[in-house]
Amino acid sequence: MTENLEAPPMKRSANDFIFGKVLGEGSFSTVFLAKDVHTSKEFAIKVCQKRHIIREKKQDYVKREKETLLVLSKNVKESAPYFVRLYCTFQDPESLYFVLTYAKKGDLLGYLNKVGSFEDHCSKFYGAEIVQALEHLHCLGIVHRDLKPENILLSESMHIVITDFGSAKILNCVEMDEKNKENSEEDAGELKRKSSFVGTAQYVSPEILNRTRTTPSCDLWALGCIIYQMVAGLPPFRGHSDYAIFQKIMKLEYEYPDGFPDDARDIVTQLLVLEPSERLGAKDIGSYTSVKSHPFFSGLDFEELHKVKPPEICPHLVRTESSSSFEIPSDAQPGLGANELSRALGLPLAPSRKSSTVTRSKLSIADLDETEREKMLEGQKENKFNQFVENNVILKQGFIDKRVGLFSRRRMLLLTTGPHLYYVDSGNMVLKGEIPWSLDLKTEAKNFKTFFVYTPNRTYYLEDPTGFALEWCKAIDDVRNFYFRSNAEG
């Protein structure tokens, strides 16, 4: 089942590569896209400054990452090729270089941030690839210990490529039996150091927090967190500080939002178990059969996953009770008159019902001359949201539900000149953010209530509870066309 790593080429140095763009920065490293001058093959080269490693006392971290990557790279399993490979290492007086597989499509966290939650078949597929990867990893005696969406990169063909083995542990029997206490204190110290710069503790298992022993089961806990996040759009344990998150983890304090499917709920519940040995799969030997045979994964052939085309990651259209009941609006009139017909066809609607949104009388921003602008600015002084719009004219405002996966929050959305799309927590009167504008901003109404605003890094999933999604899209498109089309043309 295993094959040897292709023999590393003759001794390499930085001169054997053309260094391209920076792919990312770690706490003591910079990762570059690089091309091998001899083969034209692309790699990700992680460059760690020796000075920095010593100053940050990261020698162990770097050593561990190299050792783990070497074991993995020497034991590539055809049906679980889900790890970054270390092709070669070299150094010069200043830096250490790791030549790694280039994962072209970024990381899973980027996709989760972009679309919120995944379609069910997508969560299933990526969950299954992680299980297949963990099975191989644990068979080699390696525990990752820092599995999280940002450490799950994606290859050009959108299969997972797990990275960041600096916290990994290669277990052997002696270590498992005798050095548990010692290991665990080391783990806790490391966690403390790490959390100070990683900034997230959301996937850490309770036994690592408790300083009890580390077993492969801590990666099963992380798997539970990641499946939850793919399905719900946010991780299960959330809080304003690492401390608050740790508290919730220790008390197993998390909830399932409405719409969380039963099979997903069942597998997550069986993975997020405080006692490591009681987690689904923890008692399996050699293969995670109990995890793989769970109904959540029904219909998947784990051995074949790497050969199939992964499902496309696109925003998951959430079916809530209110969205389905909106199919026929409560105040819809019988018959097929002009209003009813345009509603059914998804055309702009005559506002026969009272909308909670306010659109200025002059909808077309192109008509907004200086006098009109002054008049509108004067008129909106009484508007309590005026304080957030930085002296811009409010063209449209209204309450919308801003959704991330299965979670949603009511916000006041303000479309203004500038252009800006501000959203405000009206309960606390706090500006929560802005949807960034660019020529690439696009809208799409999914139904009368739901509309998406696509930006390069994120899809905003918005619901107008009064059913005027089409109006929002039209107003946003008008503003985009006014500011950006004329720029692009002129």
- Residue burial 373-401, b: 16+ Cβ < 10 Å; e: rest: eeebbeebeeeebbebbeebbbbbbbbbb
Stretch of 22-30, 123-131, 383-391, 451-459 lying at the interface with ligand ATP (CB under 6 A): 22-30
Question: Encoding tokens for residue 464?
Answer: 């107008």
Give exposure, 1-11, as e/b (b: 16+ Cβ within 10 Å): eeeeeeeeeee
Choices 24-32, 227-235, 293-301, 430-438; region in contact with ligand ATP by CB under 6 A: 24-32
Distance CA 13, CA 485 (A): 48
Least distance CB 157 / ligand ATP (angstroms): 14
Window 268-307: residues binding ligand ATP (CB under 6 A)? none
Gap between the Cα atoms of 244 and 195, Å rounded:
13
100 binds ligand ATP (CB under 6 A): yes
Helix (H, G, I), strand (E, B) or coil at 44: strand
CB of 229 to ligand ATP, least distance (A): 17
Give 42's strand partners: 35
Residue 62 or 413: the one with the smaller Cβ distance to ligand ATP is 62
| Position 101 contacts ligand ATP (CB under 6 A) | yes
Using rule CB under 6 A, residue 112 touches ligand ATP: no
Position 29 contacts ligand ATP (CB under 6 A):
yes
Q: 2, 27, 322, 486: which one contacts ligand ATP (CB under 6 A)?
A: 27
Single out the segment in contact with ligand ATP by CB under 6 A; choices: 98-106, 247-255, 350-358, 369-377. Answer: 98-106
Angle among Cα 229, 234, 239 to the nearest 5 degrees reads 125
* 102 lies in the site for ligand ATP, by CB under 6 A: yes
Contacting range for ligand ATP; rule: CB under 6 A; set: 18-26, 135-143, 204-212, 390-398: 18-26
82 binds ligand ATP (CB under 6 A): no
Q: Could you give the C-alpha distances from 150 to 47, 48, 113, 216, 288, in angstroms and in order? A: 19, 19, 11, 20, 24
Catalytic residues, by residue number, are 146
In 3D space, the residue among 3, 7, 159 whose CA is nearest the CA of residue 84 turns out to be: 159
Confirm or reject binding of residue 23 to ligand ATP (CB under 6 A). Answer: yes
Which candidate, 360, 355, 307, places its Cα nearest to that of 465?
A: 355
| Residue 41 is assigned to a ligand binding site | no
The footprint of ligand ATP on residues 37-76 (CB under 6 A) is 44, 46
24 is a contact residue toward ligand ATP (CB under 6 A): yes
163 touching ligand ATP, by CB under 6 A: yes
List all residues 6 or more positions away from 113 whose beta carbon is below 8 Å from its beta carbon.
457, 458
Q: Which residue has the tokens 């899973």?
A: 108
Name the segment binding ligand ATP (CB under 6 A); options: 101-109, 250-258, 401-409, 430-438.
101-109
* One-letter identity of residue 436: P
Tell the smallest beta-carbon distance from residue 163 to ligand ATP (Å): 5
C-alpha distances out from residue 28 to 46, 57, 61, 146, Å: 10, 10, 11, 17
Smallest separation (angstroms) from ligand ATP to the CB of 111: 13
Residue among 373, 407, 368, 367 at smallest CA distance from 389: 373
Contact yes or no for 306/126 (Cβ under 8 A): no
196: contact with ligand ATP by CB under 6 A: no
Task: Please give the structure tokens belonging to residue 302.
Answer: 């784990």
User: For residues 379 and 372, is the Cβ–Cβ distance under 8 A?
Assistant: no
Q: Output the smallest distance, CB 162 to ligand ATP, in A.
A: 10
Q: Quote the CA–CA distance of 16 and 13 in Å, as a whole number.
A: 6
Residue number, 161 or 232, with CB nearest to ligand ATP: 161
Q: Which of 167, 450 has the CB closer to ligand ATP?
A: 167
Task: With H, G, I as helix, E, B as strand and everything else as coil, classify residue 71.
Answer: helix
Closest distance of CB 145 from ligand ATP, Å: 12
Name residue, tokens 């600015």. Answer: 377
Distance CA 118, CA 461 (A): 13
Q: In the set 164, 187, 190, 471, which binds ligand ATP (CB under 6 A)?
A: 164
Strand ranges, E, within 92-221: 95-100, 142-143, 152-154, 160-162, 169-170
160 binds ligand ATP (CB under 6 A): no
Q: Which is nearer to ligand ATP, 101 or 443 (CB)?
A: 101
What's the one-letter identity of residue 375?
K
Q: Looking at beta carbons only, is 100 or 131 nearer to ligand ATP?
A: 100
Give me the least distance between CB of 137 and ligand ATP, in Å please.
Answer: 17
Taking CB under 6 A as the rule, does residue 84 contact ligand ATP?
A: yes
* Residue 103 in the binding site for ligand ATP (CB under 6 A): yes
Q: How far is the CB of 17 from ligand ATP (least distance, A)?
A: 14
- Tokens encoding 429: 């009167």
357 binds ligand ATP (CB under 6 A): no
In the list 26, 189, 337, 433, the residue contacting ligand ATP (rule: CB under 6 A) is 26
The annotation places the binding site at 46
Kindly list the residues in this chain that would bind ligand ATP in the complex (CB under 6 A): 23-27, 29, 31, 44, 46, 84, 100-103, 153, 163-164, 197
The annotation places the binding site for ATP at 46
